Amino acid sequence: MSNPPFGFSNSDDPDREENTGGQSGQDRDKNSGGSGDFGFGVGGSPSGGFDQGGFDPAALGQMLTQFGQMLSGMGSSMASGEQSGPVNYDLAKKIARQQIGSVAPITQGNSEAIAEATRLAELWLDAATTLPAGASKTLAWTPNDWIDNTLDTWKRLCDPVAEKVSGMWVQGLPEEARQMAGPMLGMMNQMGGLAFGSQLGQALGQLSKEVLTSTDIGLPLGPTGTGALLPAAVGRFSKGLEQPDREILVFLAAREAAYQRLYSHVPWLRQRLLATVEEYARGITMDFSAIEEMAKGLDPSALGDPSQLENILQQGAFEPQTTPEQKQALERLETLLALIEGWVEVVVAFALNDRLPGVGALSETLRRRRATGGPAEQTFATLVGLELRPRKVREAAQLWNRLTSDSTIDSRDSVWAHPDLLPDSSDLDNPDTFVDRVLGKGADGGNFDNPMEQLEATLARERAEEAERSGENPDDEPQS
C-alpha cells in the first residue's frame, strides 16, 4: 500500500510537488520522519528501522518494542472484554510520551516571557481587528502538555476516518468469507485499533516537538479560550533567524492571539472545520470488487497470524478511493483554512508592522514552512487522510488586504458573521469581484454594514436561480 491504512493522501494530486520543492512523496517521507504501515517507520526517518546505510539495530529494537506493546494491549483489552474503539488512544498516548522522551520543565522565566509577549500582542491587536481578545489565558506548554490538551480534538478528527477504514473492507467481504472469519473479525478490529493507536502515538509524539503554538496547523486543537506557546520549539525555530528572540516571541504570541480571537468570536467556525473533516471521512469508499476477488483465495487461518494479517492489510485492495464528494470537501476545507491563515497574516501584520520591522520576513518563513509540507502537514495527512496545504494563503491575504484598504476593518471582519458570506475558491482566484460585491460595486450590489441583510440577499438570489432552472416563478405564492 502506498500509504498507511490509517490515513492516506491523494497520490494523484497534481499539486503534490508544487509546494514541496519538487520532492516526491517518498523523498519527503525520508526527510520528514513519516510513518510506515501500522505506525512502524520506514525509509530512513527518525522512527524508521532501515536507511540507505543499511540495517539499524536500535530502530529494529524500537519497532519490536512497539509491536510488543500492541500485542500486550490487545491481550489486556480482550481479557477485560472492553472495546478500544477504532483507535486505541491509551496506547497512542503511551507511545507519544515515549517518543517525546524526557523534557525540561517550564521555567518561571519562560512563563513570564510568554505572558508579557501575549499582553503586548493583545494590546496591539485591539487596533487591528474588531474581534476582542479570545483567550482567557495563554500558557507555556511542554510537548507532554500539548499531547494532554489536544488529544480530545484529535479523537474527533481521527475517529471518523479510522472507523471508515477499519470497517469498510469487512463490510465488502462476501457473506461466506465473513462466516469463515467468524470470531477472528473481533480480533482484527482490536488489532486495527491498536495499529492505529500505535501510528497516532508516533505521529503526535513527533509533532508535539515541532509545533510552536496550539493553533500552529491552523486548527483549534486546544481547549476553548486557552492559548499556548511551546518554548522549546520556539527556541529551535528562532535559531538561524535574523530577528531578536523577543520579537519572534511577540510575533508568535500575536498569531496565537489572533487565531484565538477568530475561533472564540466566530461561533460557527470551529464546528465547520471539524465537520468538514468528518464529511471527508464519510465519503471514503473502497473497491469492493478487488476485495471480493482477493477473498476467493483467502485462507481463514491467515487471519490468526499477525504477519499475514499485516500483509493482507497492505494489499492494494484496501486502498481507499478518492470520490468527487471528498474532493469537494477537501476544496472547501483548504479554502477555509487559507481564509483563516490569510486573515491572521493580515491582522498580525497590521498590528505589528510599525513596531516589529521583521514581521514580513517572519510571515514568509512560516508560509514557506507550511507550503513545503513540514511536520504538521505531513502528520495531519498521515492521521486524518488529508493534506492540509492551504495553497491559496497568499491569495487570501491579498483579498483581506484589499478589503481592509478599500473599506474598513469593520467591513472586513463582518464577513465572518456567517459562513455563506465568506469568499469561495473562485473568489480567491478573482478577489476584485468579491471585494466589489462587499463594497456594493458589483452588479448585485452589497451591504456589509448589515451582513445579515447581505445574507438574505444572497439566499434570495440563489432561490431565484434555482427557480429559473426549474421553470418556476420565485414570486409566486405557494398554493395551499
Tens digits of pLDDT across the chain (480 residues): 333 333 333 334 444 344 444 444 444 443 333 333 323 232 333 333 333 344 455 554 555 555 555 555 545 544 444 445 788 999 999 999 999 999 999 999 999 999 999 999 999 999 999 999 999 999 999 999 999 999 999 998 888 888 877 666 566 566 666 666 666 666 666 777 888 888 888 889 989 999 999 999 888 999 999 999 999 999 999 998 989 999 999 999 999 999 999 999 999 999 898 888 788 777 777 665 655 555 555 666 555 555 655 565 555 444 556 678 888 888 888 899 899 999 999 999 999 998 998 999 999 898 888 777 666 666 667 666 666 666 688 899 999 999 999 989 999 999 999 999 999 989 998 888 898 888 876 545 444 555 556 566 666 666 776 777 666 554 554 444
pLDDT of residue 404: 93
Q: Where are the alpha helices (DSSP H) in 137-287?
A: 143-171, 175-181, 184-208, 231-238, 245-265, 269-282
CA separation, residue 399 to residues 161, 316, 396, 431, 455 (Å)? 33, 42, 5, 5, 19
CA 415 – CA 346 distance, rounded (Å)? 15
Distance, CA of 107 to chain centre: 30
* Whether this model's pTM surpasses 0.95: no
CA 144 – CA 392 distance, rounded (Å)? 33
pLDDT of residue 157: 84
Q: How many CB atoms lie within 10 A of CB 468?
A: 11
CA separation, residue 37 to residues 20, 163, 199, 382, 438 (Å)? 23, 17, 8, 10, 48
pLDDT of residue 302: 55
Surface-to-core class of residue 1, CB atoms within 10 Å of its CB (0-12 exposed, 13-18 middle, 19+ buried): middle
CA separation, residue 179 to residues 71, 170, 182 (Å)? 25, 11, 5
CA 250 – CA 114 distance, rounded (Å)? 8
Helix (H), strand (E) at residue 227: strand 226-229
Helix (H), strand (E) at residue 51: strand 50-51
pLDDT single digits (tens) 180-214? 666 666 666 677 788 888 888 888 998 999 999 99
CA 87 – CA 164 distance, rounded (Å)? 12
CA separation, residue 95 to residues 60, 109, 409 (Å)? 16, 30, 46
User: Residue ranges of the domains in the chain?
Assistant: 25-384
Q: In this structure, what is the dihedral angle of CA atoms 158, 164, 169, 170, given to the nearest 10 degrees?
A: 100
CA separation, residue 188 to residues 84, 167, 287, 306, 310 (Å)? 12, 10, 20, 9, 10
Closest CA relative to residue 353, chosen from 431, 261, 250, 277: 250
Amino acid identity, position 195: A
Half-sphere exposure of 340 (CA within 13 A, CB side): 30
CA 322 – CA 280 distance, rounded (Å)? 10
pLDDT of residue 225: 93
Helix (H), strand (E) at residue 229: strand 226-229
CA separation, residue 184 to residues 47, 166, 302, 367 (Å)? 30, 14, 10, 48
pLDDT of residue 288: 55
Surface-to-core class of residue 36, CB atoms within 10 Å of its CB (0-12 exposed, 13-18 middle, 19+ buried): buried
pLDDT of residue 196: 83
Surface-to-core class of residue 31, CB atoms within 10 Å of its CB (0-12 exposed, 13-18 middle, 19+ buried): middle
Distance, CA of 220 to chain centre: 10
